[in-house]
Amino acid sequence: MPTLAEALWTPCRQYMDENKISNQYFYMIYGCVFNWTFPLILYGIYGVLYSLESPFIERYKCLDEPWPWNDDPEAWRKLRFRTLCLASLNLFIISPAAYAPFHYFDLPLDLDFSRDGIPDGMKMCG
């Protein structure tokens, strides 16, 4: 088991065992939180990095055209709003709807939540 996974997973398992949290409930909560936090953090980081238009980012830019927020600010605002709406739909509605049935309908979860059940790099690759 990777060191970071060991550091995070052991306290999670202890908390689940102490509080009698089912695998299905943990899967739902962890899945939603994980699916919300990482995209929001990464979208924020990328948004800041690209809006700074630093020479480092500009050097590796694929197109020589101006950034869309510089070229047509009004169209950019509309596109950004639409993108945020679709991302919010995926993150806050569709994602929880995919996880919730496992908890609410007590569906079997074919995942091994034991310490040894966390896949290593070789198992993840096939």
**pLDDT for 19 beyond 90:** yes
**119 in any annotated domain:** no
**125 in any annotated domain:** no
**64 in any annotated domain:** yes
Q: Which of 115 and 64 is assigned the larger pLDDT?
A: 64
**103 in any annotated domain:** yes
**pLDDT for 124 beyond 70:** no
Q: Across all residues in the chain, what is the average pLDDT?
A: 86
Dihedral of alpha carbons 77, 78, 81, 84, sign: negative
Helix or strand or coil: residue 3? helix
Q: Retrieve residue 10's tokens.
A: 């052991």
**63 in any annotated domain:** yes
* Enclosing domain of residue 30: 3-114
Going from the C-alpha of 26 to that of each of 20, 58, 97, the distances in angstroms are: 10, 42, 15
Q: What share of the chain in percent tops pLDDT 70?
A: 94
* Helix orientation angle between 23-52 and 95-104, rounded to the nearest 10 degrees: 170
What is the arithmetic mean of pLDDT over 45-74?
91
At 68-109, the pLDDT tens digits run 999 999 999 999 999 989 988 988 889 888 888 888 888 887
Of the candidates 36, 30, 35, 5, the residue with the CA atom closest to the CA atom of residue 109:
30
Total number of domains constituting the chain: 1
**pLDDT for 45 beyond 90:** yes
Q: Which residues of 93-104 are buried (b: 16+ CB within 10 A; e: fewer)?
A: eebeeebeebbe
